[in-house]
Amino acid sequence: MSERAKLIKIGNSQGIRLPKKLVSKYGLGELVILEELKEGILLHAANQGKLSWEDTYKQMAQEENEWSDWQDLDINQDDYL
């Protein structure tokens, strides 16, 4: 989906008005994240305390978990079907 938006003057800056349906659809609130990409600018909702999948993976990779005893668990496969 593509839509056009007109740049408007806001003080010494410029901004755009987003259609209400897009604001609702993507859960945009008072704060949004702008990412500058090679193809253009990506706008998405701020994480409101939730981590993205990428951030979750990075955080998990930094944690030192000990998993060496997982094979000793007594799990009956029939209990989980």
Q: pLDDT tens digits, residue range 62-75?
A: 777 766 777 777 77
User: What's the rounded mean pLDDT across residues 2-6?
Assistant: 84
Read off the pLDDT band of 25 (50, 70, 90). Answer: confident
pLDDT at 12: 94
30-56 tens-digit pLDDT: 889 899 999 999 998 886 666 678 877
**Which class for 23: exposed (0-12), middle (13-18), buried (19 or more C-beta within 10 A)?**
middle
pLDDT at 49: 66
- Retrieve residue 44's tokens: 């998405």
User: Does the pLDDT at position 9 exceed 90?
Assistant: yes
